[in-house]
Amino acid sequence: MANGSRHTTAVVAGALVLLGALASCGTGGGTAGPSPQPSASAARTTGDSPHGAVPSDAAGSTNDLSPTAAGSADRSASRCRTAELSATVGRMDPGAGQRNLPVVLTNVSSRTCTLYGHPGAAFVDAAGGQLGRDPKRTPGAPATVTLTPGASAWAGLSYASPGVSGARAATPAALLVTPPDERDPLKVPWTDGAVPVSGNASSVFLTVLEPGTGP
């Protein structure tokens, strides 16, 4: 009976030693088991940019854009912003009952930027109320105008003299000029007298922008 007890004790001890060795192998250097995987929330926090921070064209190469779309993207990236420009109205050139003035936008920033198409314009009174309708855009072939710092572009503003056309007139306090594709206007004091605001021949016209300060 004593021999049986000793045999049983030896078997149990051997089993305990074997289990201890296996446990030691499983926890020793961390190489025996698979590495823990980060949770999905951790991956988003440390690796993924917020959707709003990703440029809209980042998902595709520019090679995927059509020439027209690529040109529009280039213009959007480089276009002049309102805060980078100043606006002035050049000398009036009257002729045959017509009033013609250059509306000039000048790059006052330290970078090169571009303008494309027609600017916006509106006559306003001292309280900021608009006088007359928005100017009509004259047909023309717009081209990208590149403005280095200090360079200018101009658009022609024209209307029939109210004294000749008989249109109802008013004298604006200012002309608001909005660069192409921008929302914020530049305010230019108006010193060129009455403009047509209603009635026959009251339309005001505006041309596309081109390089320089006027004809």
User: What would the pLDDT profile of 187-196 be if each residue is shown by its tens digit?
Assistant: 999 999 999 9
Quote the pTM value.
Answer: 0.66
The CA-CA-CA angle for residues 53, 54, 60, to 5°, reads 175
Least confident of 28-32, 42-46, 168-172: 42-46
The CA-CA-CA angle for residues 45, 51, 56, to 5°, reads 145
β-pairing verdict for 204-206 and 136-137? parallel
Q: What mean pLDDT comes out for the span 201-214?
A: 96
Q: Are 112 and 147 in contact (CB under 8 A)?
A: yes
Least confident of 12-16, 140-144, 161-165, 210-214: 12-16
Looking at residue 40, its pLDDT comes to 32
Q: What mean pLDDT comes out for the span 100-126?
A: 97
Least confident of 60-64, 92-96, 117-121, 181-185: 60-64
Q: Distance between CA atoms of 62 and 59, rounded to whole angstroms? A: 10
Q: What mean pLDDT comes out for the span 158-182?
A: 95
Q: Distance between CA atoms of 148 and 13, rounded to whole angstroms? A: 89
pLDDT at 127 exceeding the cut of 70 = yes
Looking at residue 14, its pLDDT comes to 47
Q: Are 194 and 170 in contact (CB under 8 A)?
A: yes
Quick: pLDDT tens for 43-72. 222 333 222 222 233 333 333 333 444 455
Residue of 24 and 84 predicted with greater confidence: 84
DSSP states along 9-73: HHHHHHHHHHHHHHHHHHHSSS-SSPPPPPPHHHHHHHTPPPGGGS-TTTTS-GGGS-HHHHHHH
Q: Are 32 and 21 in contact (CB under 8 A)?
A: no
Q: What mean pLDDT comes out for the span 126-131?
A: 97
Q: Distance between CA atoms of 136 and 121, rounded to whole angstroms? A: 10
Displacement of CA 154 from its chain's centroid (Å): 22
Looking at residue 94, its pLDDT comes to 81
Half-sphere exposure of 157 (CA within 13 A, CB side): 26
- Residue 166 tokens read as 């008989």
Average pLDDT value over all residues in the chain: 76
Looking at residue 163, its pLDDT comes to 86
Q: Give the number of residues written for the chain.
A: 215
CB atoms within 10 A of CB 178: 18
Looking at residue 64, its pLDDT comes to 33
